[in-house]
Structures are given as structure tokens and as C-alpha cells.
Amino acid sequence: MTLASLVGGFVLRHWKAYASSAVMLAGVAICSVWVPRKVGAMIDGLATHRLSNHDLTIGILQLLALGVAIYVLRVSWRIRLYGAAYRLGVELRTRLYARLSNQGPAFYQKRRTGDLMALGTNDIDAIEMAAGEAMLAGFDGTLTLVMVLGVMLLGVDWRLACVALLPFPLMGLAFWYISRHIHTAETDSLQRFSALNDHVQESLSGVRTVRALGLEKRSADQFSALAGQAANASFNAHKWEAAYEPAVGLTLAAASTLTLGLGGYLVWNNQLTIGALTSFTMYLGQLIWPMFAAGWVLSLIERGRAGLARLQPMLEAPLSVEDEGQLDRIEDGPLVLRDLRFSYGNPNGEFDRPALDGVSVALRPGMTLGLVGPTGAGKSTLLRVLLRQATPQHGSVTWGGHPLTSYRLAALRGATSWVPQESFLFSASIAENIALARPGASRAEIEHAASMAAIHDDILRFPLGYDTPVGEKGITLSGGQRQRVAIARSLLAESSLLLLDDALSAVDTGTETRILEHLAELRAARPGLTAIIASHRLSAVVNADLIVVLKQGRIVESGDHDTLLALDGWYASQWRYQQLEASLDAS
């Protein structure tokens, strides 16, 4: 997709706005071209004493009327055209947001948040300007140029017009040279702004870490360096844009010199009137805008091209997880994993050692599965496969007798509640964060979910209770409180599958026990609820129907709590260690 095809397609969809703007611009051009001709006729009338006071008054009133008409038409077409051009910005931002919303974690592992934010601001602004300001200036400048040249050639004197146009090819060559450098400079400017934006986003998100490590000066120095680079890149682009004006000025100066030389000769030999020479000089002055418009249009087009070159890969980036399913409803039935193998790819396109290797598990509706194992065993990866955030290279996952890929992502995620290791809260109230999965939930239902997550009493201790704003990413809450709010959110959702990815790591054992008891009550009230709990703390899975021990992506032990203790393997030794640790803490 090129900038011309993008803008052209948009213009065709909104042709009424552009057509009405073109009509108004044509009116402006006609009025503007009429002014010098009227002035020239009035000067010749005064010079020959053939213009009466009445005719002079009428002429002045006509010039004033033309000025008012030009003003009204210019304001009208700006409102009409820019209103249409801004819709292109809305369309592009909507497309970008929709594309980014459907991308999986693999996509974001290779992208920077600040860079993506810059695409939605500066880059789309550049494309929007190409669809609005550039289209406007290009049409207005072209129409004015054609009409002025036509009047100069046919209505005044063709000899003067030909002489005046002699310097213009040199100006075209200068414009071509300048526009090439503008494209390079604008691309660099957008990239520098993106880097600056990314640094600001990271610094503000990690401001507590920056302060804790005493990195304020280092962060400020990096910001200053990046800001300087962005400013220099922008300044370089503007320097090349400023080169258009001298090219226009020199061209018009040369044209004026040639015109006055030949015009003076013609007037001296009575081949041209003073009024006609005055009109021609005024028309020559009107060529200033088309020339400036040409430079401005070229600059905006190069900005738009640079912005589209950065935006297009994001809009056309393949989804990291394709949504090609046809089923809109999750069928009741077992959740079965068969011989799953999954490896993460490295930047060279090669696969690392398997994160999952031959994993097979079958869960009936209502069962609870415990996933345990050392760090890096593959617990979180397995949950990502179930969420379709990662696609296994081998094996299959079926739910209700259908492969996960046969379900639409919206249906799959609507039937699944997931609490990740790093709980994310939005900058809203506690109640709004809990009710994200069910925006229409009553306050009583929200409070019941909070009670089940053992956070209700903590919330009531806040001055505003459930209406307390949590700040960006829940910064006003502790880690344990954020986890419990996220758990309350998942319990409020009416889902069939509950995934807890080490979601109890930041709470004490007493709170953990209460949450697990409430979870058992919820399972009793909703017999079809299947739960998968991944945890380093074995006490979180002790009552699970099935416990799986993963090591280096493989299942090395499986069974219930008593069976695994009898095996006297990794689970049994870890259980004894954690029990000893808990008793020492209690003493």
C-alpha cells in the first residue's frame, strides 16, 4: 500500500467532502484571478480619465465584495476538508488499535511500547496531514497556477508570460533535490521521536525502581541525550523544508526582473498599457502561493510517506495467533492435552530447547489440576498454550471434543479466567477493576467476589472503600492486594476454566488458605468449573484432584497429594522442605 493508494481510496470514500471543497477552492481561485484584472482596468481608466467617480466607487465595492467572498470560501473549505481528513486519522488509529489488540505476547516481545505509541500519534498525524493539508494545498496551488498562467498568456500578454516562466524549470529541479533530503530527514525525525517516547514511557513506568537504585541522574542524562537527538533530527528536517522558500524567492525575483525588463520595453514602445503591466505584475505576485504550495505539498507528502513506511508494517504484521475458528460457544466436555511440544524461537529464527516436551493431561469438567515444578519447568508456558497465546509445534489441545483452534478467540477467552503472575490493574477504582469481566455486576456481587478473594476487609479500610482509585497499574496497592483484586476479578467472571499462574505468591499462608477454601466453595456451587493452579507453593495445590510435576518441560510425576508423597520424589522432598520452612517461620 502506497501513500497515493491510501489517500486516493479515502478520497473516493469521502468524495462529497472533497468535491465541495474543490468547488469552493475554485471559487477562491476565480475571485483571486479577477482582482488583478479589475485593478488593471481601473488604473487604465484613471490614467485615461475615462473612469467616473460612480464607476470608481462601484469598482472599489466590487473589490471589497470579492475580498469578503474569498474569506468566506476559504474558511468554509477548510472546515469541510479538514473535517474529512481528520476521519482518516480516526480510521488509521482504529485500525492500528484493533490490530495491536489482537496480537499475542510474541508480537510485543519484539516491539517497544513507546514506539507503538509514537505510531499512533506523530506518524498518523503525518499521514493525516498528507490527506488534508497536502490535498488542499496541491489542489488550490495547481488551480491557481493554471488560472493565473492562463490569464497571463491569453488575457494580458503571451510574450511576458513566456519570459516570466524561464526560471521555473530550475526551481523544479531544486524542489526535486530538496524533497529527497526531506524524506530521509523526516524518517530519522520520526524514529528519534519514537526512541524518546519509549524512554519516557519506560522511565515513568519504572519510576520507583529508578528512585530505589538512585538512577535519577542517569535517566535524566539519557532523556536529555535522546531529546537532543530528536530535536536535532527535527531541526534538520525543518532546515530542508526552509530551503523551499529561497528557491521560490530566487525564481520569482528572476521572473520579476525579466518581466519588468521586457514589460518596460513594451510600455515604452506603446505595445502594452501601464494597467496591463500592473495586472501582469499582480498576477506574477499571485504565483507566489502556488510555488510555496508546491514546496509545502512535497514536504507533507514526504512526511506522510515516512509515517506510512513505519505504520504499514504494524498494520500488515501477521497475527502471532491466528483467529480462524468457527465455533462461538465452548462445548461442555473434558480438556485434553496430547503430546504437547513447544519451543520458543530466538531472534535468528531457530528454536530453543523445548519448553514443553510430550505433555499429556486429561481433565474432566469440574476437576482441579495442580502444576508444580522448579523455576523454568514450563508451567506458565502450558497456561499460555491453553490461552492460545502460544501455538505448540506438535500435539493438540481439545476442549469439549473440539480443538482449541476451532473456537473463536473471543469465545475461548470469554470462557476462561486468567490470573497471571504479574497482576495488572487499570487506572480506575477498585470496584471497576473487579467488575472488568462483568461490567454490569452489582455492588453486592463485586463485594462477594472480593470476600472470596480475601480482599474485602482490606478494601473497607480505605477511606473511599470500593471507590478508591488504584492509580496506574495499581500503584497505590501492595503486591498482595493487587493479586487478590485480580483474583476477585476472575472469580466474578462466569467462566468455565480458571487459570491461576502463581497468583498466590504475594499473600501469606493464612490468606492463601482462606482463598483456597472459598475456591472450593465456588467449585461446589459451579460443578462445571475446571481450575488449573500453577504454583511454587505446594500448599496451594494440596487438595487438587490431579497434581503434575514438570521438569524441563516434561512430566516427571503425577497423581494426587498422597500418591506423590508415596512416590518420595521431587514433590515429596519439596513438601517436606516447605513444611519445615513454615514451621520455622511460625516459631
DSSP structure string for 435-485:
TTS-TT--HHHHHHHHHHTT-HHHHHTSTTGGG-B--GGGTTS-HHHHHHH
Same domain, 225 and 368: no
Q: Give me the mean pLDDT over the 375-389 stretch.
A: 87
Residues 344 and 251 grouped into a single domain:
no
Domain end marker among 451, 468, 494: 494
Clarify whether residues 265 and 206 are in a common domain.
yes
Integer Cα distance of 141 and 169 in angstroms: 17
pLDDT for 465: 87
- pLDDT of 479 > 70? The answer is yes
Question: Based on the domain organization, do 453 and 543 belong to the same domain?
Answer: no
pLDDT at 189: 81
Segments forming the whole domain that contains residue 459: 422-494
Q: Are the C-beta atoms of 63 and 38 separated by less than 8 Å? A: yes
Q: What is the pLDDT of residue 278?
A: 67
With bands split at pLDDT 50, 70 and 90, how would you rate the model's confidence at 275?
Answer: low
Comparing 113 with 361, the larger pLDDT belongs to 361
388 in any annotated domain: yes
Are the C-beta atoms of 241 and 122 separated by less than 8 Å?
A: no
Specify the CATH number for the domain of residue 261. Answer: 1.20.1560.10
Of the candidate ranges 284-288, 328-332, 387-391, the one whose mean pLDDT is the lowest: 284-288
C-alpha cell at 554: 516434561
* pLDDT number for residue 350: 52
CATH number of the domain bearing residue 378:
3.40.50.300
Secondary structure class of 429 (helix, strand, coil) = strand
pLDDT the model gives residue 121: 79
pLDDT, tens digit, 9 for 90 and up, residues 146-193? 776 776 666 666 677 777 777 777 877 887 787 778 778 877 887 888
Give the count of domains, the chain.
3
For the four alpha carbons of 422, 428, 433 and 437, in that order, the dihedral sign comes to negative
Residues 446 and 300 in one domain: no
Is 321 within the bounds of a domain? no
Greater model confidence, 248 or 534 = 534
Contact of 355 with 380, CB cutoff 8 Å: no
Is the pLDDT at 69 greater than 70? The verdict is yes
Give me Rg for the CA atoms of the chain. 36
Tell me: do 344 and 247 sit in the same domain: no
186-220 per-position pLDDT tens digit: 778 878 887 887 777 777 767 767 776 677 777 78
DSSP helix/strand/coil, 329? coil
What's the pLDDT score for residue 232?
A: 84
Q: Which residues pair with 554 in a beta bridge?
A: 551
33 shares its domain with 181: yes
Residue 440 and residue 375 share a domain: no
Whether residue 222 sits in one domain with residue 298: yes
Name the grid cell of 279: 495586472
Strand partners, 372: 549
Taking residues 366-381, report their average pLDDT: 89
